[in-house]
Amino acid sequence: RIWSPEVEMVVVNFYEDDLESEAYLVESMERDTLGTWLLEVEGDLAGKYYTFQVFINEGWTSPVPDPYAKAVGTNGKRAMVIDLNKTNPEGWENDQKPPLESLTDIIIYELHLRDISAAENSGILQKGKFLGLTESGTTNDESLSTGLDHIKDLGVTHVHLLPVFDFLSIDEAKPEKNQYNWGYDPQNFNVPEGSYSSNPADGSTRIKEFKQLVKTLHDNGLRVIMDVVYNHTGMTLESNFNQISPEYYYRMTLRGGYSNASACGNETASEKPMMRKFMIESLKYWVEEYHIDGFRFDLMGIHDIESMNLISDVLYAIDDTIFLYGEGWTAGKSILEERKRALKKYTYKLSKVAAFNDDTRDGILGSVKNPEDLGFVNGKPGFKESVKFGIVGATKHSQVDYKIVNYSSKAWANEPSQCVNYVSCHDNYTLFDRLRKANPGESEAELIKMHKLANTIILTSQGVPFLHAGVDILRTKEGVENSYNSPDSINQLDWSRKTNYQEVFEYYRNLIKLRKNHPAFRMSSKTKIQNHLSFIEQTDPNLIGYFIRDHANGDKWKNILVFFNGNKESQMIEVPEGDWKLVIQDGKIDESGFERFGGGSFKIKGRSALILTEE
């Protein structure tokens, strides 16, 4: 059954293989209810391939899979008839999601599937494949863990996978070419990407191997987030949507062109009933068939608020620990009224949907639009309030001056779980490359201080922290900013850096452990933040201090003092009288404490964090 109300005829073409053969059977569909067409075929079609063609405006469109196709062959050209039950890996019926008590317990690790395994020194056999991330016991040349074991050891809770649905830009028929793309050019929304499977021609293989990946991550205490791109399609006129129901699924301008808020040639119309229905049913399918634990919405600001809230209602009814978040902006102008769009400033109108906090990202580093700009961690004044904005998870707090926050004149998160704090992601420079570019005269030791400080702010702030894969080993892309189609040599994680920067990895590992051990850094409501977190007035523009008091969120520590010094030089701070234990000092972490301090004046080193606690 397909939905195509405006067309005059529809046929289904059946094939013996996924690319080469001519159709061995062509059957006409019958017009049925509510704009749909229906065909019933007797017999066993398992393993056969098929496409749809419609007749409209005195001509036949190209043969394509239905947008709802669940399995396809090589390059997604033809859909495939399969029994989904036969794609389940062993033990799939017993797959268990790792426990999650609160959304603010989440720590995200954003990963492109090829990057983790492509390098020769990854020790991973199935490089660039779904199954590569299921391999355990893999090591680099110095016997340090890589791949799955590395991520597990780091301690994050969720692996965010860049697009793993079937996308357009990779020729799956030529795996020997080792092509690379981030995958933000959707082709078949409900099918795993074939180039990540061991056999793209067989529609069931990619499904089974992706399920195996999900189950393996679950078995290792990691939840799985899919990066989804419903805001546009990789092709426009030739897309599956347009070949089956021309122009319906897109926003069209008054002149008859395609609105282009995606900057990719088109934008979908989530406010139209059948596009909204498609998104909801697609996401529901990924949750129920593949056990996916969350979704990151590319250019979420293109989608309408009503659709995002309906999506949230449907998915949370299935699983109330699912996490939904997205980019609260567009890449170009949209014809949909701004007040209806799921933009960051309207996050408070969204139901359990979070947005990326670029206010604090650019407060910490400087404007992403100018990679040579400086921010809080490299001593530029004027960003204190933007950093404080992230510390309270973009919620309302009486001690944040919203008039001078980077891009937001008021709090946009109802609760801290609606704020995703980050300083780097797949877009733009890696954190290390960005710091290197903005601070050309600085030594590597100074860059590492800034690097640690940046994500110490992120991992001790309220909200949901988000880390770019490899940031824990000072990942570099050799200064390439937009590496969406750069080769593996640029994008891959170089596992020798784990050896060279083992101390940095241990710092990140201990920082994550600190957050997980202490719920005061991940309060579940803005009321708790307002009641337990207060800022300490500092006259220096690059010095921030705050106090978390009274066993916040059930923490075993009674009181916590946090200071961030973005200056290159040391600064003097005043610590209230008490029995304080220093747990973070001068780029090192020890929860048992480096020393005791009774209060008074204390020197905090430049470009560092200082955390003191009282039992």
Q: Give the pair of three-digit tokens for residue 121.
A: 């020194």
pLDDT of residue 28: 98
pLDDT of residue 354: 98
Per-residue pLDDT tens for 555-579? 999 999 999 999 999 999 999 999 9
Q: What is the mean pLDDT of the chain?
A: 98
Measured distance CA(355)–CA(350) in Å, rounded: 10
Q: Which of 606, 433, 589 is nearest to 507 (CA)?
A: 589
pLDDT of residue 117: 98
pLDDT bucket at 142, cuts 50 / 70 / 90: very high
Q: For this structure, is 298 an active site residue? A: yes
Per-residue pLDDT tens for 113-122? 999 999 999 9
User: Annotated catalytic residue: which of 135, 202, 298, 385?
Assistant: 298
Per-residue pLDDT tens for 166-189? 999 999 999 989 899 999 999 999
For the question of whether the overall pTM of this predicted structure is more than 0.95, the answer is yes
DSSP-assigned letters across all residues of 472-514: GGT---TT-S--TT--HHHHS--THHHHHTHHHHHHHHHHHHH
Per-residue pLDDT tens for 220-260? 999 999 999 999 999 999 999 999 999 999 999 999 999 99
Cβ burial, residue 278 (10 Å; 0-12/13-18/19+):
buried
Give the strand pairing for 158-161 and 108-111.
parallel
User: Annotated catalytic residue: which of 135, 327, 358, 494?
Assistant: 327
Q: For this structure, is 313 an active site residue? A: no
Measured distance CA(51)–CA(80) in Å, rounded: 9
Per-residue pLDDT tens for 395-439? 999 999 999 999 999 999 999 999 999 999 999 999 999 999 999
Per-residue pLDDT tens for 482-529? 999 999 999 999 999 999 999 999 999 999 999 999 999 999 999 999
pLDDT bucket at 292, cuts 50 / 70 / 90: very high
Indicate if the alpha-carbon torsion angle 190, 196, 201, 203 is positive or negative. Answer: negative
Q: Which of 282, 184, 181, 170 is nearest to 229 (CA)?
A: 184
pLDDT of residue 440: 96
Share of the chain above pLDDT 90, in %: 99
Report the half-sphere exposure of 277 (CA within 13 A, side-chain side).
7
